[in-house]
Structure 1
């Protein structure tokens, strides 16, 4: 479900406080977003990319058409577009095309509705990309790999400002009118059928398509509702410090266990991602990257998940990760056993 206004304010206050503790420079909001022909999106450092060595751009092609997307084990990235962001906001070190090529198939795309366009944000921080960049990069990948489906959590992020229309109207503009995206989305955006009940479609129905996981208010169904009746989401994200990683892991492990035995039509989503609950925890090093990687005396979330999944069979569901490793992505994909 979408975060409450109180949770949004708390997250915003935390980020502002954390920025005062680190030598960061936030980018100003974009002045013109309707056209993005010159934008290339966030730039990650390939040399430091933990996904180096993972390359499985067509793994869904090995799976049967009648498999529900809910039945799959799917690597995902939390706050997908944050490569190159400030230390507090950064959750990824690989670009979107690198993630897709490695095997990631669930994206977390957070759009600020600003001047009748969608800027990509992590809370108040603009990530030097907009929705057109995301659409182009994902559809380029799908053209090259038509056997694949990309799940996209589409979320309204931060505050809306200087708009003359609703969020839904702007999304429809991208789908139907914007010359940079309309043809791409008409071809590659999965459209729910008439009478759609919000259930999770099959792989065969969605190959070559983007399936929106709808995390915004609208009168139209664009895809399964994030937090709706066909999803089960673990997103315990606020940690009191690095010592709290073990508690967070307990939540993630329990969700893996639920996914293994849960209803086959339910899309289980398990966030390994987390961040500091307050500025003091930030000062103590509880940043998304250190929570994922671990630190001296602390086993990180990604290593814990890799160790657990190596010994556990069954469906993982969608696993939303910060800075995933090649080994973790490969292990999640390996859980798709339809023999």
Structure 2
């Protein structure tokens, strides 16, 4: 009898916690736009960092540069469950973002931008045009782009990607090597981090040292998520300088929408980096949902 009561009490307690988490998610979802030093879901960044790579020596390997990035860069639509960013691509680049995470759905040679089942009202050509235009204006910079097939399962986007590059940009825009370049070698270029099959277009995404523990079932799991981020940033700082490190600070789950996770993980990231400000450090690529301009600048300043 006592055992049944304890089990019932435990189940009731878990249900109350889950309900509290759901209420918290809904509260975050319904809140107005916010612009904090660590989190920004407004329409434009507080300030810009347009040409920050100009001060980095040409001889420095890209693997030794600390780079801010955005997860699911083009995910602007579909409600709180699928929206990961609020700044348009051009504003992200002008704010200092240099790593893009782009997901394309392949259908009959067309490459539309998706986050899961949600169409993001854009196609891959618009992304290429945006990046090419930015790099023409800021030739000291380079942009890395993880490119992945989303929703469709053709496993054969190489030909369509090549066609889009020729139609919406130009072949020489790309860094055509698997090797880690120096900064000087890739100024004004787009590095495709190829997360799909086919001949080499650029570097292979799988060659990076990646921490992408994106599953955060509820807000009760945030400590586990932060532990993954913290440990991988420490690894990047101490790790092999010839390897590119990539840490995703983003995460989501049915009871933990991307904005709810970012509102709680981004401040921890901001504090972690603030406590290490000063001498140059190598944290690799640090990728976020809803980053704020001061957080991006803090990451850039480690160079």
What range describes the TM-score normalised by the shorter chain of this pair? Answer: 0.7 to 0.9
1:190 equivalent in structure 2: 175
Task: Encode CA deviations 1:72-120: one digit per residue, 9 max, x unaligned.
Answer: 1100000000123322110101110010000000000111111211101
Matches within 5 A, 1:181-220: 181=168, 184-192=169-177, 198-218=178-198, 220=199
Give the counterpart of 1:127 among 120, 125, 131.
120
For 1:318 and 1:166, locate their aligned partners in 2 and report how far apart those are by CA, in whole Å: 27
SS at match of 2:247: strand
User: Please, what TM-score do these two structures have when normalized by structure 2?
Assistant: 0.83
Gap change, CA 1:199 and 1:186, over 3 Å in 2: closer
Unaligned runs of 5+ in 1: 1-21, 23-43, 193-197, 277-281, 294-299
Q: Match of 2:22?
A: none
Ranges in structure 2 where 5+ consecutive residues have no aligned partner: 1-25, 27-32
Greater radius of gyration (CA): 2
Q: Secondary structure at the match of 1:239?
A: coil
Contact 1:190–1:211 (CA under 8 A) maintained in structure 2: yes
Select the residue among 269, 276, 281 that pairs with 1:305.
Answer: 269
1:316 and 1:93 map into 2 onto residues whose CA distance is 25
Q: Which residue of 1 aligns with 2:238?
A: 261
- Change in Cα spacing, 1:111 to 1:226, as seen in structure 2 (3 Å) is same
CA distance in 2, matches of 1:50, 1:331: 21
Q: CA deviation at 1:160?
A: 4.2
Quickly say closer, same or farther: Cα 1:253–1:51, change in 2 above 3 A. Answer: farther
* Number of equivalenced pairs: 267
Residues 180-212 of structure 1 show CA distances to partners (whole Å, capped at 9, x for unaligned) of x1xx222422222xxxxx331111110001000
RMSD (CA atoms): 2.3
Give the one of 59, 67, 76 matched to 2:60. 67
CA positional deviation for 1:260: 0.5
CA distance in 1, matches of 2:95, 2:138: 12
Higher helix proportion (structure 1 or 2): 2
- Out of 144, 148, 151, the position equivalent to 2:141 is 148
Note if 1:106 corresponds to 2:116: no
| 2:252 corresponds to 1:292 | no
Tell me the residue number matched to 2:12.
Answer: none
Deviation per residue, 1:36-88 (Å, 9 max, x gap):
xxxxxxxx999952862230100000101111111111000000001233221
